[in-house]
A = this chain, B = another copy of it.
Amino acid sequence: MKKDKVKVTFLPEGEVVWIEKGATLLDAARKGGIYVNSICGGDGICGKCKVIVREGEVITRPTTLLKREEIKKGYVLACQAKVTQDVVVEVPPESRVEGKILIDKDAQRFRALYAPLKEQVFFRHYPLVQKLYLELPPPSLQDNVCDHLRLYRGIRRKIEVPIMQTGLKVIRSLPYIVREYNWKVTATLGIRGGTVEVIQVEGGDTSDRNFAVAVDVGTSTVVAHLVNLNTFETIDAEATYNSQMIYGEEVTRRIIYAELKGEHKLREAIVDDINNLITTLISRNNIKLNDIMAVLCAGNTAMMHFLLELNPSQIRKEPYVPVCTCPPPVRAAEVGIRINPRGLLYSLPSIASWVGADITAGVLATGIYQAEELTMLIDIGTNGEIVVGSKEWMVCCSASAGPAFEGSGVRSGMRAAEGAIEKVKISEEGRVHYTTIGGVKPRGICGSGLIDVMAELLKAGFIDRAGRLNPNLDKRVKVREGEVEFVLVPSSQTATGEDIVITQADIENILRAKAAIFAGINVLMRILNLDFQDIKRIYLAGGFGNYLDKENAIILGLIPDIERERIQFVGNTSILGAKMALLSKDALDTAYYISKNITYYDLITYPGYMDEFMSAKFLPHTDTSLFPSLKNLLKEAV
């Protein structure tokens, strides 16, 4: 028994957390490292942090975010429940962020996504960090240049380096190493801005041990690929949830949290995630931490700010000015990333406050910057970023879609992880067919599943073009607590024991999300005076999964109606671009070129954006002439 503290036991793990009286259950969960969903970051408005009090009592306030039956069962919102005595609390499956094992499978999925773009963009193999094995001539009276210049001379005999730099620590170590190893040493060189830094000098030939990690710092998922810098090979991949989620699911919530509690908390959270990923990757592949010489990160602008502990405040305030879109390479240890103590952390450059380094990576990976024909990249996450252009010019914008396609703000929504329904078909007889990730019992619906559901419900006539569910059509359309919902999978067949449903509110959320993105696309078309048919290729990127149904995405009105073979789903281009930059200085230079040469267009400044948004809230759109190929289909729908 600890003074002034109470004991909170979290089920099913049985994890015990001691916390001050008056703290909330969400505080206790954060302290204990127990993941509990939270979109609003603890403001009691998202209703995602539901937990069940099994023993003891908590102090809480009335809320409309819990159903009456839930309250009866002991459900409370963790962020609103204050503990004053010892309690036992259960975190139900729907409030849990999924754990390790599922992620491993995800990682393999992310890895597979590398394939489709592999041959489109090619850069010279010129890794950001190189190891050179040198057999230096021992000094003599005739050749007694200093150790430092002898090393430089040896390096310059192998490669061309205009400006070379070295820290005092490396110079200090030189006389010992070169003599102990009889002038046979391995120099590690890192690209740093326009210069090359001799990062370390090791005795003997260690040139075959030269690894790096590319990281996609997503708002919800952090993906890391372990790369052999010598062979170009991706050795392994791993992913985890961004543990900043406990400070808010949305970027803006996290920025506000940083403003209130300090940026360092956000940095520490993401750095912990990255360190954990690296640890997993190296131990699984028998690689030493000391042989990881670089980490390269790509993420949205806010994530990059959090990682480097830059004040993110102005990102959310007009005129939306980041502190730094092109962060210089720094010693990884400076931000707390644990690799070789002299290893470097590279950051891909961002484009603007709301178009980040992940999009730079996407443009790099898809090669838009060198495309002969007009190309569009649509990257769908919590924001939908759109890039249009070719080698002549590039324009981008960001549409605030909300996290619906990532499964948030949707009753049965979940991320693209095991148990997620990722494919849905409603047969002519009205029967729902679905497949889940991992082939297990369904736990919810992920983004690609939601797109299918919307299109299938329209085709089957369960909803009209405004998205309205018809409550009298079928027994699967129910009214529960005043809200209309369609039961996709009854509770008897789910892993959670609850119905997997899509509610009228969910449908409106999804329509709002897709309308935001499509309006962004349409505004770009208008300001550029372009027609959809001018777009010769569309790349669709994002964490949906592998099986996005292009046809259904068009029926939903998420993407323009162009010839299907011109549309390519490319998966996670952020990690792909990050890896390309790690493996080629030319790719990194190209990333800088991209970030400087994309014109950012702020949708807010377009007077007709709201009208565009409203028009796009239909299936597929108010203006059906934009979707000519759906003519026959739409005849059937009302």
Contact = CB atoms under 8 A, between A and B. Distances in A.
A353 B172 CA distance: 16
Nearest to A330: B168
Contacts of A335: 168
A314 to B, nearest CB: 6
A310 B175 contact: yes
Interface string A310-330: 110110001111111111101
Contacts of A165: 192-193, 195, 328
Contacts of A162: 194
Given A165-B328, A193-B195, A195-B194, A322 B171 contact: no
A147 B330 contact: no
Interface of A: 139-141, 144-150, 162-168, 171-172, 174-176, 192-195, 308-311, 313-314, 318-328, 330, 334-335, 350, 352-353, 600, 602, 604-605
Given A139-B319, A311-B172, A148 B325 contact: yes
A148 B304 CA distance: 14
Given A141-B602, A148-B324, A168 B308 contact: yes
A600 to B, nearest CB: 8
Contacts of A310: 171-172, 175
Q: Which of A175, A194, A350, A352 counts the most chain B CB atoms within 10 A?
A: A175
A165 B353 CA distance: 22
A357 to B, nearest CB: 12
A353 B311 CA distance: 48
A163 B321 contact: no
Nearest to A174: B323
Given A147-B314, A163-B195, A172-B308, 10 more contacts: A139-B319, A139-B321, A141-B319, A144-B319, A144-B600, A146-B325, A175-B310, A175-B313, A176-B311, A194-B195
Contacts of A145: 321, 325
Contacts of A314: 147, 175
Contact of A147 (B147, B176, B321, B602): B321
A326 B148 contact: yes
Nearest to A193: B165
Contact of A323 (B144, B147, B328, B350): B147
In the assembly, how many copies of this chain are there? 2
B323 A141 contact: no
A328 B172 CA distance: 12
A156 to B, nearest CB: 13
B195 A352 contact: no
Contacts of A605: 141
A144 B175 contact: no
B194 A147 contact: no
A148 B323 contact: yes
Contacts of A171: 308, 310, 323-324, 327-328
11 contacts: A141-B318, A141-B319, A141-B604, A144-B600, A147-B324, A149-B324, A163-B163, A168-B308, A175-B314, A176-B311, A195-B195
Would you list the 4 A-B pairs with minimal beta carbon distance, nearest first? A163-B194, A148-B324, A146-B322, A146-B325
Q: Which of A145, A146, A147 counts the most chain B CB atoms within 10 A?
A: A146
A322 B147 contact: yes
A326 B149 CA distance: 8
A195 B196 CA distance: 11
Nearest to A308: B168
Nearest to A150: B321
Given A194-B162, A324-B148, A334 B175 contact: no
Contact of A144 (B149, B150, B192, B320): B320
Nearest to A165: B193
A146 B321 contact: yes
Nearest to A322: B146
A314 B139 CA distance: 11
B324 A146 contact: yes
B166 A328 contact: yes
Contacts of A139: 319, 321
A473 to B, nearest CB: 47
Contact of A149 (B320, B325, B334, B600): B325
Given A194-B195, A325-B149, A353 B319 contact: no
Contacts of A318: 141
Contact of A334 (B140, B168, B327, B334): B168
Contacts of A167: 328, 330
Contacts of A324: 146-149, 171, 174
A171 B352 CA distance: 17
Contacts of A325: 145-146, 148-149
A171 B167 CA distance: 21
Contacts of A326: 146, 148-149
